[in-house]
Every structure is written in structure tokens, then in C-alpha cells.
Chain A
Amino acid sequence: MASNNENPSTAVDSGQSGNAGASGRVEGSPRVKRGLAEMLKGGVIMDVVTPEQAKIAEDAGAVAVMALERVPADIRKDGGVARMSDPEMIEGIKAVTTIPVMAKARIGHFVEAQILQALGVDFVDESEVLTPADEAHHIDKFAFTVPFVCGATNLGEALRRISEGACMIRSKGEAGTGNVVEAVRHLRSIVGDIRKIGQADEAELFEWAKQLRAPLPLVQEIAETGKLQVPMFCAGGLATPADAALAMQLGAEAVFVGSGIFKSADPAPRAKAIVEATTNYNDAAILAKVSRGLGAPMTGIGMDDIDVRLADRGW
């Protein structure tokens, strides 16, 4: 993975020079921003809506928390416009945790992102879980010191987000459903296309770029390295330790769990079990051990029973 950080592609390298000072000190460089994503690998990022939940998440071994007012399952239920959380609520969570705090901005809402950066959040999620603010443009993420994570349903979407400066890609899945099927679809699509591009010849790469609606240099870079330019995490519908391990075995490098923890019967042990499963995703004996006696998971929803597909948001 070092090559990703050492030789960022032209598209990713441009636009952000940072502020060089004494000793060549630079903040917000691609390497510094992607560096935090590297540190979160192998971990679980948990959605929390109160400082108490943030403490439970941290004590269970979360590598970061996503501070928001409502978990996706409730956003789905309530309907209406979902926006960035109240800064006071985000600050309340920052005050009680030692781990990184993430927060969500609406797609294209660069002012919400500016506010989140000013609040000192560690990662901004430009998220389809909130109601989009712009139907054509995503945020220019190079303009920020804070790193961004963006959702993707396929490789083309992932590369468009990377070309805008995203430092981490997560599958969108279908948030708030407790149903892992969409996250699996998205992961398989991204990983499968990376594999196919690895076997394509030079001429075919032009066609791949066209098909994916993605910048050619990024497609060529994938052909050369065989991997995505930034860490790829899984999100959207994970509810059990087995779901987390499934995502990891399919090629995710860490997992986000949203409604799956605090909408379950007994959040603390479930949170801890999901952390343990993510570390030992390849060890079925440990997975069997940690999956025992966790109480009821969140009640899931089938894809035919939902009115709004959050994953369709984003362009």
C-alpha cells in the first residue's frame, strides 16, 4: 500500500499543496489525509448519537465513531430532509472520546463540510444517508485539510470520488436496513472490476475508463497496481459479527456499522463481538465463539420493502 501514498496519481496529487513551513512542514497533504485512513484499517467505525453511546463504542474497541443525530434506520423511518448534525452534539461526543470522530455532510454541501472542519472533526463522510444538497456536484475535497470518505456502489463511482479528493471509499450498501445484501453487491462489483482491469490490455483500458465514467489515469493506475488508490471500507446494512467478517473476506479493509449496533437488543457485547470478528475475520473458530449469545440483532428490512434507496443518491 505504500506505493499508493508515495506515488499518488496526477489527479489525486493536484490541487492540494498544503502550507509548507519550517522543516517542510505540510498539513493536509494526500499522504497525511490518507494516513489516517490507513490507521483505521482492520477496525470498526460505529455510528453514535449520544456521548454515552460514544463511550460504549470506544470501550468496545471501535477505532472511530461517526457522530450523528439519528442513525440511518431512524432517518429512513422519519423521512424529511436529513442534514449535518448540530455542532453542539458533535462537540459533546468529541469531548468524551480519545478516538477519531467522524461526521456527515450532505452530498455537495461544502459549507457543512467547512463547518465540520472548523469543529475539528477527524474525517468527513460526504454521505448519501443525508439528503443531497446538489444534484450534479460532489464537494471539491482537495480544498480541505480534513480527509473525506465517500460512498460508492461501483468502481466508476469510487474513482470519480477519488478524482475529487476522497481519501477513503466505502461501499454504500443500503444504510439503516440491517441487510448486508447491497454492501455485498457493491463490494463484489468494485473488487471484481479491479481484478478484471488488472488483466486488461492497454487498449481496453480506454474502454474501461469510458464504461466506468472515470478518469483514464486512475484506471491505468489500477491496472498497474491491482488495487484501489485509497483504502476501501465496507458500510451499509452490517448487523452481525459474521456480516463484518464477510465484508472483510470480500476485500474490505475495515467496516462501518451504523444502526446495527445501537438498534440491537444489547449494544455493548454486540459492538465488542463485531470488533473481534473484524480482527479475526478469517478464523471461523473465533467467529463462532464471538457470535454466541448476543441477543436479538436489529430487525432487518428486505430490499423490496423499502421506499427510498439511499444508494441511488450521488453521481
Chain B
Amino acid sequence: MIGVLALQGAFRMHCEALARCGVEAAEIRTAEQLERCHALVVPGGESSTMANLLNTFDLIDPLRSKLAAKMPVLGTCAGMILMAKTISDGQPDQLCFDAIDLAVRRNGYGRQVDSFEADLDIAVVGQPPVRAVFIRAPMVENVGTRVEILAEFDQVPVLCRQDNILVSSFHPELTEDDRIHELFIQMVAQSEV
């Protein structure tokens, strides 16, 4: 079962995108619900709010052990921040899970007035380009050697993968182009082989 972390943010839009791909996703708010997941989407929203609520609802350790057990995760925007190894410009000691070897800068692309959409060529999903929406997006500043860069914008990585973890600084759930979700569903299927 694919779960979508539903503490806050664009979780319903991820559920709708997965539904269009033929996958019925579950909204995840408790440790029991998380325990039943084989894969998880961590949506966009406010990363500091989500970190706070993960702590309040005792989800940090359960999520850590799921990640240690190689559960596939798609993290978009705030989800990328939570999966990263280190965060700059976040809150002091802001929570991240070190699930992918990335250093990210929170709101690295600027504030909302600097937010934008643009075309991205992404070889793994083919043509046409993906219309990517960046909302107060995190910027990848450092990439570990085990990380595969799947897409760049202005020479900066914006879609990255390491083993079972796929993260984007943009929001694939804000368009009806579901190829990033399909890519994740393939990763989930392969992880279960």
C-alpha cells in the first residue's frame, strides 16, 4: 500500500495523482497507519510544520525504522527537505531524516514572488518536457556520490534519486502530468520484487 503523509500540505493532490495512475493511496496520520505502508509520499507544505507534527504524533522513530528498512519514498519540496541529509536556512536543528545524501537550502529559490513554473527535460520519463512548478522551493546545494541526478534546472539538480528515495524540489502534484508519480510507482514495484 502506498501512503501519503497527511499531516499538512498538498496531500490530497498527491492522492488524486496516484488515483489517476490507478493506485489507491491512504492518508497517513498515525504510527499504526504508517506501519501498514509499503511506500510513502511526503508532500509539499511547510517542512517546519510537518517536522513539528511528526514529533507531536510520535511518527519520527516509526518513519526512521521504515526508512532503514528501505521503504520507497517520494518527497516533493518540503518532502525533499525532510528526506535530505542537511538543511540550511531552516529552523535551528530542523528535523531531517538523512535518507538521501543531499544538502538543501530551504526556500533556496526565494520567496513566493520568486516562485515560478518552467519546462524540464527529464530523460527517465522522456518527451515532452515536464512542466515543473516551484513554490518557495528548496535548492539542492550539495549532492553525494551515490545520488543519481535525474533532472536539473539552470545547472542545479531538481529531481534526484538514491536507491528507493526519489525527491524533487518542484511539485509534480500541481499538474495533471503524472509521469513522476508513474516513475515512483515503478520504483515501488521493483522494490517489491
A interface residues (Cβ-Cβ under 8 A, vs B): 1-3, 5-6, 23-29, 31-32, 35-36, 38-43, 58-64, 98-100, 117, 120, 122-123, 145-147, 272, 275-276, 279-280, 283
* Residues on B with beta carbons closer than 8 Å to the beta carbon of A36: 112, 115, 135-136
Contact B45 A39 (CB under 8 A): yes
Return the CB mask of B159-185 against A: 1 if under 8 Å, else 0: 000000000000101111000000000
Q: How far is the CA of A3 from the CA of B12 in the complex (A)?
A: 12
CB closest chain-B residue, reference A116 = B113
Known: A43-B45, A280-B29. A27 touches B176 (CB 8 A): no
Contact A98 B106 (CB under 8 A): yes
Q: How far is the CA of A98 from the CA of B88 in the complex (A)?
A: 11
* Residues on B with beta carbons closer than 8 Å to the beta carbon of A275: 49, 52-53
* Residues on A with beta carbons closer than 8 Å to the beta carbon of B89: 98
Least CB distance from B193 to A in Å reads 30
Known: A2-B173, A39-B9, A145-B113. A31 touches B133 (CB 8 A): yes
Q: How far is the CA of A145 from the CA of B118 in the complex (A)?
A: 16
Known: A61-B49, A98-B48, A99-B49. A42 touches B7 (CB 8 A): yes
Contact A98 B91 (CB under 8 A): yes
B interface residues (Cβ-Cβ under 8 A, vs A): 6-13, 16-17, 29, 44-46, 48-49, 52-53, 56-57, 77-78, 89-91, 106-107, 111-120, 131, 133-136, 153, 171, 173-176
Contact B118 A25 (CB under 8 A): yes
Contact A25 B53 (CB under 8 A): no
Q: How far is the CA of A120 from the CA of B113 in the complex (A)?
A: 6
Known: A35-B135, A38-B174. A146 touches B11 (CB 8 A): no
Contact B9 A41 (CB under 8 A): yes
Q: How far is the CA of A291 from the CA of B114 in the complex (A)?
A: 39
Contact A276 B90 (CB under 8 A): no
* Residues on A with beta carbons closer than 8 Å to the beta carbon of B115: 27, 32, 35-36
Contacts beyond the supplied A27-B113, A39-B46, A123-B112: 17 A-B pairs with Cβ under 8 Å:
A3-B176, A6-B175, A23-B119, A24-B131, A26-B117, A28-B113, A32-B134, A35-B133, A35-B174, A39-B10, A39-B45, A39-B136, A59-B91, A61-B52, A63-B46, A99-B48, A272-B56
Least CB distance from A25 to B in Å reads 4
CB closest chain-A residue, reference B9 = A39
Contact A276 B8 (CB under 8 A): no
Q: How far is the CA of A207 from the CA of B90 in the complex (A)?
A: 51
A-B CB contact pairs (8 Å), 24 listed: A2-B17, A2-B175, A2-B176, A23-B119, A24-B118, A25-B118, A26-B117, A31-B133, A32-B133, A35-B133, A35-B171, A38-B171, A39-B45, A41-B45, A59-B91, A61-B56, A63-B46, A63-B49, A98-B90, A99-B49, A100-B112, A122-B113, A146-B112, A279-B29
